[in-house]
Each structure stands twice: as C-alpha cells, then as structure tokens.
Amino acid sequence: MLYDLELISVGKTYPDGTVAVSDFDLRVEKGEFVAFLGPSGCGKSTTLRMIAGFEEITNGEILMMSHNVTHVPPEKRPTSMIFQNYALFPHMTVRENVAFGLDVKGTPRAERDRKVERILDMFDLTAFADRKADRLSGGQRQRIALARGLVVEPEILLLDEPLGALDANLRRIIQNELKLLQRELGITFIFVTHAQSEALGLSDRVVVMSNGVVEQISPPRELYRRPATPFVAGFIGSNTLIEGAPLGAAAAGFGRLDTPVGVIEGVGRGDERLAVIPAEAFRLVPQGTPGELHLPGTVVGRHLVGAVGHLTVRLADGSDVAVETSSHRPEVRALAPGMPVTLGVDPASVTLVHA
C-alpha cells in the first residue's frame, strides 16, 4: 500500500526539555481527509507544522509518497499550508496572490494564466481579482488563501484552523465547500481544529490528541461509539463515565465491571476499570426489561429542547448522569424532578476502557 503521508513515531522536544509531541504514528491514504482534534496546546498545530516543515522534528520520520522528507525544507515538500489568519500577501492583488507560487517557479505565462483564471473562477473570485487582497471580507480572503494554496497543485493540503476566524454562518458554508472541494480534487487534506463539529463533520478519520500524545485515531462515528481512552470519552460527545473493579470477561467481546451503581456489562476484555455510556444510549425503561443493564435513579433535572429532552438523573451512588431522550414520548413529558426512574442501557453501546 502506498501512502500519501506517513508519520513514524514522530516527536518534538524543545531544547529546554519540554515535550511538544511524542510518538505520533499515522498513515494517510491518498485523498483521505484527516482531522487533528484536541484542546489548545495539545500539539496538533505543532504536528501540522512539522508535516509542513516549519518545525524541526527531534524524533521519528516523515514520509510523503514513500520519500523521506524529514529533513527536506518546506519549499521542497509537496504540501501547501492554509493559515488561520490567511497570511495573504498584503502588497499584492488577489490575482497576484494566487499567481505568486506559479510565478516564482517560472511557469510559462499562458499556462499560469490559464490555471489562475480557472481557480479564481472556481472560488468565485474573478470579480475581485484586481483588488488588494486585504480589502475583502473574511470568507473571501479564506477563498483566496485556498485558491493560492491549491493552484500550485500540492499532493497534501495542510489546514491550520482555517475556519477559526469566521463567524458561525460562514463557517458552515465554507465547511461544506471544503468537503466538496476535497472530494472533487481528490487531494489529501490534513485539517487542524479544536472544534469537534468540524472534525467530526468533515473528516474521514480523526486524530484526537491531548498533551502531545495521540489518544485515538478513528473514523468520527467510532469516536462516539467506541472511545479508546478516558480522555476521548470525556472530550467527544456527552458520556457518563463510571469507575469500577474488573470482573473479567462475560460473553465473547464483552466484559463486566463492578461499580457502585451495580454490575455493568459492556464491550471490552473485562480487565478495564472504566465504563463509558453515551448520553443517547440511556433509555427510560420499566424495571426488568430483558437484555439491558438497569440503573435505578431519581430525576433531578429536566430540560426539553425541541425534540430532545435533556434529563439529569441521580444514580444510587449519588452521581449525576446526563440522559438524552426523545421529548415527544408521554412518559418523558410526565417526568418531574424527584420521580424515580430506571435507566436501561444496551451493553453493546457501553464501552469499557482502561482508566
């Protein structure tokens, strides 16, 4: 298998001993859309800058199309980077900005003009082409930055929080455009963001990072369904985390955990110490429904937002869990704080992770 991008235990330690990133392993196929997701300071931007060649790598290797680029300077890598502040050239017009890369490389004039006009057209920039780049709105400048980065035909496009400076509406629009664009061009996209919705909505795979370490690399759905670490369980979605003592394996692929609220069965090997239950996995059930875990509790809060009902239920050990349920059902509408309920959970939607 040929990969567009391979990171082999890539790490960066600053001269003062601070570790920015350690043991980053990732293989990206051609045309894949990968998002780096994590809180600020988790090392996601540093990793992106290492891929671009702006940060030195102190451990490991980076390969692009099977060529080792670990010590190749940024201008010689087949990557193009889009910056959060767009980093447009203030002294050039929109067209000059877009043409710059081809211009300096000595692309024949006819070919350059053809490519530039095509991409200006593609990004709806033709009307502003002769204006100074910094005279335009945020969304337009974002498009200029994309056009400028793509016109040089990179193999890999690196995007550093490219939507961070846009307002919510524009962000949604450009988000959709990005996705379409990536499909159309078939270029590999590496996208850094701290916004879950962007990472989960856009990418084929998400790399969740915290404190310079990769926590999990999974398709977005898997992150929701099967978080691999307590950090991911706490960071993605709205999960209830219950600690307990391992009771060993139950049925094949399932493990059991002895917790203060009772024995919980879930997907795992049985040597884990933490059960992760997504808020939407809880259901309100009559006691004794077969095939379910039963967690008795008391309603302490009810908040109906449109079709979704957000309940807070206090379990036997005094811990509160968030429950998401349909607000249309009469038994949900009838609930009031103080009323006893039983929460049912299908063990298949429970994930056991090592604490």
List Cβ neighbours of 272 (8 Å cut-off, separation of 6 or more): 246, 255, 257, 352, 353, 354, 355
Give the distance from CA 175 to its chain's centroid: 13
Which residues lie near another protein (CB under 8 A)? 52-54, 73-77, 79-81, 83, 85-91, 100-101, 104-105, 132-135, 138, 141, 145, 148-149, 152, 158, 165
Smallest separation (angstroms) from another protein to the CB of 167: 10
List Cβ neighbours of 232 (8 Å cut-off, separation of 6 or more): 208, 215, 216, 223
Nearer to another protein, 136 or 323 (CB): 136
Smallest separation (angstroms) from another protein to the CB of 148: 7
Smallest separation (angstroms) from another protein to the CB of 202: 21
- Phi, psi values for residue 246, rounded to 5°: -65, 140
Smallest separation (angstroms) from another protein to the CB of 140: 11
Alpha carbons within 13 angstroms on the beta-carbon side of residue 199 total 30
Nearer to another protein, 153 or 271 (CB): 153
Nearer to another protein, 36 or 231 (CB): 36
Smallest separation (angstroms) from another protein to the CB of 194: 18
DSSP string, 119-174: HHHHTT-GGGTTSBGGGS-HHHHHHHHHHHHHTT--SEEEEESTTTTS-HHHHHHH
Q: Are strands 340-345 and 283-284 parallel, antiparallel or unpaired?
A: antiparallel
Nearer to another protein, 119 or 341 (CB): 119
Smallest separation (angstroms) from another protein to the CB of 3: 21
d(CA 105, CA 337): 69
Nearer to another protein, 49 or 302 (CB): 49
Nearer to another protein, 37 or 144 (CB): 144
